[in-house]
A and B are shown apart, each in its own frame.
Chain A
Amino acid sequence: MKQEITFKINGEACRVEVDPTWTLLYLLREVLELTGTKEGCGYGECGACTVIVDGQAINSCLYPILEIEGRAVTTIEGLRKPDGELHPLQQAFVNKGAVQCGFCTSGMIMSAKALIDENEKPTEEAIKEGIAGNLCRCTGYVQIVDAIKTVAGRGRT
């Protein structure tokens, strides 16, 4: 039986009818057509589906949709400034070669953002811990960590 929920998505209020069996990932991709968030495994094992809910990075493929009621969701689409300027993390990923095929990138950037928002000056170890749940097969992670380092220490993003 469908239910109506209200929540915030990338700063905007959203009211939508959902089936309780949906995951947040399903809502984002199939209903709201925000396809920036990816499904890499569907089991919470790869992190490609990572989005931020109330400041915390979570796997949207495992997030029951009704729990989003009243919460604020940020996806990759919500990082850019209204004038189109890239978020510092996005710009750093571009500049540092942290993007190859790009499939892990959305989830990776969201994990990085959640990390830096919580811990302004993460050490290299903390950065690796922060993205340990995001698998990448292309980059070997080195340039990803570099990119996050350039933003770390600049203050809240």
Chain B
Amino acid sequence: MKPLVRSAPFLLAAALAIAAGCAPAPRTFDPDAIPEAYRRPTGALMWPGATRAFFVTPEGDLYNGEWRVRFDPSASGSLAGPPRAIAAEDRWLPVLHWTRRAGDVRFEFEAVAAGSPRDSNLIVSLAVEIVNGGTAPVPARLAVRLEHPGAAPVYVALDAPPGLDAPLRWAAAGSKQPVHAWSDGRAGGETEREASWTLRPGERRRIRFAFPAYPMEAGALGAWARSPHANRVTEARAYWTRILGEGMQLALGDPEVERAVAAARVILLSCCERHGERWLPIGGPFHYRDVWLRDGARAIQALALCGHTKVARELTRGMLAFQWPQGAFLSQRGQLDGTGQALWLMDQALMRPAPDDSVAHFASAALAAWEWLARQRTAGRETGTAFGTMMPFGDPNDAELARAQLVGNDAWALAGYAAAARLLRASGEIAAAAAIEDSLSHYRDDFERALARTGRPDLPPAWQPVGRDWGNLAAGYPCMVLPARDARLFALADRVWASAGGAGLTWYGTRDSLHYYLGADLGTWALLAGRGAQADSVLEALLHWRTASGGAGELFTREGEFGVNLPPHATSAAALVTLVRNSLVFDEGDTLRLTLGARTSWWRGARIAHAPTRWGKLDFDFRQEGNAAEWRWSPVQAWTALTLPPGTRVSGRLLPPLRAGASDREVLAPPGTGGARVTLVTGNR
């Protein structure tokens, strides 16, 4: 396919350069110049498959849930302050930098994680450069101590030994016991290393450390550390460049968005744990180091959408561990949305860009899950109650925070029905698929009747008048249980956004507590409902609330205080990836939708490559030049809906084979079309 946009090769090259780790060299990289949205800086040193990670604390220490590595840098007897920011290179590449200052002396930290090929450990290579930026000689000192976390740790690793009081040791000559740290030959006792210098003006000194997430044999750690820190950094840059290069490529001419997506992909890939042959998606690298179907489903979808197909499918296989004998999927007590989510994630991961060879295996699991869902409805119908045809009550201890029949459970069950039908159809079980589609139709009717029975104009959290908004917010997208332009969905979004002060992040629990991903689905819904500006407000909020390393929290105050709910959160990363991807390429339903939410700046010329869709992999260019919008894309066997640039509409008559779409901002191209040009006029009717 010939690229439409003349500058597209350059843009793509630029994007690949971003993905290729062409970040500024470490010493020209000033972490304090990188924006940090939260009140306290944090960082995560993590690795795909590893079962622990290191948290870079706001004080600039390291903590892995079992022990802390405390750094005490000082100059002229004064302790250095905490870092202002803990930044990834270009705010995405996970080589972390932070600076601590004591007078004129800077302590410049650079740290990178690397996985262990043999087990689920990871090792952090960390270098500190001590620089005298002043004009006079200064005595400087760096003490590094291994410590137990104290009485109230911010979190405890689930696999930490009882008591958190096992002896901690630095590697030393002749060490026989497992060790927790290595440094390049500085003096100190069993748990401390220390170095001091008198630095001339402009003089630099450097110390190197290695920290495993689990204790290691001293010899093995020493051997690992024989590879210089610079090599470890180079290896990490190359690794992440290669991995991100395997998936979808974005060249939007908008580095902030491109880097935000890259950072989110790093987080999603790093929040995968390997348990033997099984891979599982975890909620986060620290205190949420566990599997929730509701979070894992989002992570798997996001990975699938941005082309990490193999990883998404491995994770999907891992999720089969959560199927119960009666057919249901459940990861946490009382969270009955898990079955619908499991079915949905299978469809998301296995059907793009083409059905996976193993789809029949998953289809049988899906059939059992659907049968369980159907039994729930049958049993409920027998009760004869007003909402008997909806899912039975759940008590999730979370989310809606109520014991009730939850609307979100039904929304996800409906999404699960649709997914199960697709999986069965793809595996050749046409009769079973048809039976599910028939039952889906009845379930949708029952759902709409139940909504009418609530007497409310929107979708409540629960069929009983209790609970917080949660699963109901997923009804428009991704569950798609009502048409996007259904009045109830408008009423729901308006209610939620009005109480939050406008479209953007929503709140949870109290109005002061912003929730990063809870309302992100409303962003995609807004795209589908023709509310592009509101969708863009959601994207803007997601872009704003990121750390200097590109991750996002889950719950935090409007001032950016996250308490002990530590960033990054995998579902937050998934929310950002999904909204950006849906703004460009949306492939649910029978129509491919392009540029649904493309920002004005992207219309200067953008290219998306290797985007997996339900009709295969898609390459796609678009741009606005003067009063014309142009698209070129890999032709698909479906109608393609093209959304015009913001603030424009079609001028004059469309040239065949294009047709008018559902609004004056949309045109339709028939199956097999690979390009379109539309004359524009400013303004909407």
Q: Do A and B come from one complex?
A: no
